[in-house]
């Protein structure tokens, strides 16, 4: 009976997990080049920072060349860090192209967006080219692998990063952290609301 | 009491199996992309609050509507997303299609254009509408329910629906991909829908 019950409970958990599968929509811009990761564990890391902390500084290579450090915006701009798990995957490919048409919202809130993934520069170059010309820098946290994601506590056990958003004010203080279900695109309005709460 | 506790796993399993079957029936059963000659799947959309959009579509004040209830002979549906680079790029040309139709006295009451934002919230649809000055009605499909009904197509995707006088309808166009300009697209729609001969 015990064995039987174990089987039933396992089956139940698997079934409920399957039922909660999420949908996504892909732009034809990526043709058939998106790798379907299937449904991933929603989150798989433990945050190492919290709202109110000074954001850890970092310097990362940018797809367009050179390096960008977070510290360069201190006292000048609010900063949004958008970590997405990986290039050429379903939800990630449909997240930044949306941010690409709301530069005015970032401007209005005196904010810059930094897109970050754990992919290397050549991969990010090819991937972001499919999105059109992005107005914001895209940074590679490839080597040491995911080191920046790890400092924020959003590096997953499989080497991907979480789908995470950090809003950092001009003083370098973290004002918002959103680590959502990796399988879902975060709602734009949540980010916009957080930006509008910042002092300009 | 012990008997009730014993039944919990079985009840759980029954619910889970039911949900699994439901999931797969939704995923692989009804979720097929409609093709030419098909009717639209059962899609209910909230009537727009905006009076201009309501008037454009010839709809009543509130509640839900089905696409064949739109007062038109042809409805062109664009499945788009605010997050889709091609949709963004083509938005001005799709707007021009609307302008050409609205500027033609013979066509303006016969052809209507709507957009459905796959996975987009109301806020995201509004951002897109404002960014590209989209003049025709756009509807959010926040939880992908419409998108699932039409086979989770990539975007942009265009569907052409012909509504007959008796209220029945047929899809005459179902196509993924790049929009090759307002004039050729309209001409093609007129031809394959049969509207050109009816004019």
Q: Is B26 on the interface with A (CB under 8 A)?
A: no
Q: Same domain, yes or no, for B11 and B102?
A: no
CB pairs under 8 A between A and B: 113
Q: Indicate the pTM of the whole model.
A: 0.84
Asked if B33 and B41 count as a contact pair (C-beta separation under 8 A), the reply is no
The string of pLDDT tens digits covering residues A73-97 is 999 999 999 999 999 887 767 899 9
Contacts of B107 (CB under 8 A, 6+ apart): B101
My answer on whether B18 and B85 are in the same domain is: no
For residue A136, the tally of other CB atoms under 10 A from its CB is 16
ipTM for the predicted complex comes to 0.83
Task: Name residues of chain B where pLDDT drops below 50.
Answer: 17-29
The CATH number that applies at residue B130 is 3.40.30.10
Say if residue B4 is in the same domain as residue B71: no
- What confidence score (pLDDT) does residue A116 get? 98
Same domain, B90 and B117: yes
Same domain, residue pair B144 and B100? yes
Residues B1 and B49 in one domain: no
Query: Range of B19's domain?
Result: 1-30
Among candidates B23, B131, B152 on the partner chain, residue whose Cβ is nearest the Cβ of A19? B23
Structure tokens at B1: 């009491």
A5 touches chain B (CB under 8 A): yes
* Statement to judge: residues B6 and B63 lie in one domain: no
d(CA A94, CA A28): 11
Look at B147 and A23 and tell me if their CB atoms are within 8 Å: yes
The full set of domains in chain A, from first to last, is: 2-197 (3.40.30.10)
Is residue B116 located within the same domain as residue B37? yes
Residue B82 touches partner A, C-beta closer than 8 Å: yes
Same domain, residue pair B23 and B55: no
Per-residue confidence (pLDDT) for residue A28, from 0 to 100: 73
Whether B21 and B56 share a structural domain = no
Are B134 and B184 part of one and the same domain? yes
Number of domains in chain B: 2
d(CA B131, CA B75): 24
pLDDT of B23: 43
Rounded to whole angstroms, how far apart are CA atoms B67 and B75?
A: 8
Interface test with A, best of B23, B85, B119, B140 (most A CBs within 10 A): B85
Say if residue B112 is in the same domain as residue B187: yes
Q: Would you call A188 and B121 a contact, using CB atoms and an 8 Å cutoff?
A: yes
pLDDT at B32: 86
What integer pLDDT is reported at residue A27 of this predicted model?
Answer: 75
Contact B20 A94 (CB under 8 A): no
Active site residue A92: yes
In tens digits, chain A (200 residues) has pLDDT values of 455 555 555 544 444 444 444 556 677 777 777 888 888 899 999 999 999 999 999 999 999 999 999 999 999 999 999 999 999 887 767 899 999 999 999 999 999 999 999 999 999 999 999 998 999 999 999 999 999 999 999 999 999 999 999 999 999 999 999 999 999 999 999 999 999 999 76
């Amino acid at each position: 009976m015990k064995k039987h019950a174990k089987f039933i409970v396992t089956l139940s958990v698997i079934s409920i997990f399957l039922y909660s599968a999420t949908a996504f929509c892909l732009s034809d811009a990526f043709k058939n080049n998106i790798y379907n990761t299937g449904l991933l564990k929603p989150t798989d890391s433990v945050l190492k920072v919290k709202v109110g902390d000074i954001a850890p500084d970092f310097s990362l290579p940018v797809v367009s060349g050179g390096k960008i450090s977070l510290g360069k915006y201190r006292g000048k701009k609010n900063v949004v860090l958008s970590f997405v798990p990986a290039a050429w995957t379903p939800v990630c490919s449909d997240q930044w192209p949306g941010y690409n048409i709301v530069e005015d919202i970032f401007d209005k809130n005196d904010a810059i967006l930094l897109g970050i993934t754990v992919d290397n520069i050549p991969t990010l170059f090819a991937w972001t080219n499919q999105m059109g010309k992005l107005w914001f820098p895209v940074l590679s946290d490839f080597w040491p692998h995911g080191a920046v994601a790890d400092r924020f506590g959003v590096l997953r056990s499989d080497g991907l990063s979480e789908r995470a958003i950090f809003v950092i004010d001009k003083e370098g203080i973290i004002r918002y952290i959103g680590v959502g279900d990796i399988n879902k695109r975060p709602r734009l309005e949540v980010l916009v609301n957080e930006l509008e709460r910042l002092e300009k | 009491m012990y008997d009730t506790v014993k039944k919990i796993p079985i009840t759980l399993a029954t619910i889970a199996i039911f949900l699994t079957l439901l999931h797969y029936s939704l995923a692989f059963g009804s979720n097929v992309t409609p093709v030419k000659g098909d009717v639209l799947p059962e899609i209910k959309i909230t009537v727009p609050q905006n009076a201009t959009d309501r008037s454009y579509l010839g709809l009543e004040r509130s509640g839900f509507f089905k696409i064949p209830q739109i007062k038109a002979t042809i409805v062109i549906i664009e499945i788009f997303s605010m997050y889709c680079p091609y949709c963004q790029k083509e938005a001005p040309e799709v707007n021009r299609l609307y302008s050409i139709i609205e500027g033609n006295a013979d066509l303006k009451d016969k052809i209507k254009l709507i957009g459905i934002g796959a996975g987009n919230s109301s806020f995201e649809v509004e951002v897109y509408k404002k960014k590209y000055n989209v003049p025709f009605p756009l509807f959010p499909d926040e939880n992908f329910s419409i998108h699932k009904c039409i086979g989770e197509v990539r975007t942009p995707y265009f569907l052409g629906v012909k509504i007959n006088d008796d209220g029945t309808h047929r899809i005459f166009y179902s196509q993924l991909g790049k929009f090759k300009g307002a004039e050729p697209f309209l001409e093609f729609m007129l031809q394959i829908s049969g509207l050109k001969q009816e004019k």
